[in-house]
């Protein structure tokens, strides 16, 4: 089968299209013929080597964290899926590899694809929608009446976080550029702040939750809009000791992570605010609940561009520009014909 391989870590290193061995299908796995794969900033960061202390993958490596496709085989212990099922997934860490024609995925990471989505639209959902779910439902428990600020509302996580927060009954503010303002309003944002001309700390106050996906300066300034007891969740770092412990990282790495997040954790404590870092995890059951919300019309997808599989490096470069409104995917349909 064909797939894109990262031969060695390096900033901007192109992935190489080559022949790969067929995936090994374990007893708890489903084998998926990949119809489309979503791209994420995480793919670029892993390629660049930024996540080596946390995700020590060995090269050569097939990247790709979002997949939509059709089940072509199942392991002996698989009971929830059968050959011919259309599915989508975020394969768990250590078993990524959506940038290939086929992938074996643990059944617990898989869900049936939303029936009202194309493969391309479905491929843009898993990682970012799971991130939004795990921040707003699992980590912060947003309830009706809460006030939530979501930075970068027109980005991959933002588009799902805005809709999910509104579905949960929150008042939602978001930061966006002029080009993304209409989009985030259409997703349900109540307050839209132009990050180029407005200071969100002068406009907002008394918020319960902030979801940050931007830089450290934005992270620290977000403390100013939270009320005591509020929660500041960052998906862009810095990682905190709780994350390091949950990942089972060695003592040295845990100490480094603790030092790296000490400043923001100290400032949060001084404000009576909780800070935590979230690195989303694969979870097929949550994807199933997300599919229900998509099929019910509570959440819609927003894909910016679809590239042919052969143009994956071009697609990844486009993701890195940060200009995409929604998700970027590659389609394997032409490649498989």
Tens of pLDDT along the chain (337 residues)? 999 999 999 999 999 999 999 999 999 999 999 999 999 999 999 999 999 988 989 999 999 999 999 999 999 999 999 999 999 999 999 999 999 999 999 999 999 999 999 999 999 999 999 999 999 999 999 999 999 999 999 999 999 999 999 999 999 999 999 999 999 999 999 999 999 999 999 999 999 999 999 999 999 999 999 999 999 999 998 999 999 998 888 898 899 999 999 999 999 999 999 999 999 999 999 999 999 999 999 999 999 999 999 999 999 999 999 889 999 999 997 545 4
Can you give the CATH number for the domain in which 22 is found? 3.90.180.10
Residues 110 and 35 in one domain: yes
Residues 142 and 272 in one domain: yes
Residues 162 and 197 in one domain: yes
Residues 152 and 255 in one domain: yes
Last residue within a domain, chosen from 232, 261, 277: 277
Residues 117 and 174 in one domain: no
Residue 234 in domain: yes
pTM: 0.96
Residue 160 in domain: yes
Residues 144 and 119 in one domain: no
Residue 14 in domain: yes
DSSP state of 210: E
Residues 139 and 255 in one domain: yes
SS3 226: strand
Residue 282 in domain: no
> What is the distance between the alpha carbons of residues 297 and 236, in angstroms, rounded to a whole number?
29
Contact 120, 143 (CB under 8 A): no
Domain that holds residue 26: 2-125+301-336
Residues 168 and 41 in one domain: no
Residues 104 and 169 in one domain: no
Count how many domains the chain has: 2
Residues 30 and 58 in one domain: yes
Can you give the CATH number for the domain in which 268 is found? 3.40.50.720
Determine the pLDDT at residue 333: 78
> What is the distance between the alpha carbons of residues 76 and 307, in angstroms, rounded to a whole number?
35
Determine the pLDDT at residue 337: 44
Which residues make Cβ contacts (< 8 Å) with residue 175, sequence separation at least 6?
Answer: 149, 150, 151, 152, 153, 192, 193, 194, 195, 200
Residues 43 and 121 in one domain: yes
């Amino acid at each position: 089968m064909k797939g894109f391989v990262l031969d060695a870590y390096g900033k901007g290193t192109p992935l190489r299209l080559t022949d790969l061995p067929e995936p090994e299908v374990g007893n708890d796995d489903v084998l998926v013929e990949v119809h489309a794969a979503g791209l994420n900033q995480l793919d670029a960061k892993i390629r660049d080597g930024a996540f080596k202390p946390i995700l020590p993958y060995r090269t050569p490596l097939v990247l790709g964290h979002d997949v939509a496709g059709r089940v072509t085989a199942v392991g002996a212990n698989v009971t929830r899926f059968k050959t011919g099922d259309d599915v989508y997934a975020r394969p768990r860490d250590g078993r990524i590899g959506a940038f290939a024609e086929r992938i074996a995925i643990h059944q617990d990471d898989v869900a049936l694809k939303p029936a009202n989505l194309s493969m391309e639209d479905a491929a843009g959902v898993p990682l970012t929608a799971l991130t939004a779910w795990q921040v707003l439902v699992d980590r912060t428990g947003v309830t009706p009446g809460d006030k939530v600020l979501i930075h970068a509302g027109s980005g991959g996580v933002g588009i799902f976080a805005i809709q999910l927060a509104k579905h949960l009954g929150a008042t939602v503010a978001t930061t966006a550029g002029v080009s993304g303002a209409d989009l985030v309003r259409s997703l349900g944002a109540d307050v839209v702040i132009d990050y180029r001309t407005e200071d969100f700390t002068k406009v907002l106050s008394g918020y319960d939750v902030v979801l940050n996906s931007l830089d450290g300066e934005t992270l620290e300034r977000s403390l100013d809009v939270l009320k005591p007891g509020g929660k500041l969740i960052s998906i862009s770092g810095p990682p905190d000791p709780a994350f390091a412990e949950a990942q089972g990282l060695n003592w040295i790495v845990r100490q480094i992570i603790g030092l790296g997040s000490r400043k923001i954790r100290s400032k949060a404590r001084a404000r009576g605010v909780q800070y935590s870092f979230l690195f989303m995890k694969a979870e097929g059951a949550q994807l199933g609940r997300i599919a229900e919300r998509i099929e019910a019309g509570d959440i819609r997808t927003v894909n910016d561009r679809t590239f042919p599989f052969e143009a994956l490096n071009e697609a990844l470069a486009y993701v890195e520009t940060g200009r995409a409104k929604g998700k970027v995917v590659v389609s394997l349909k032409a490649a498989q014909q």
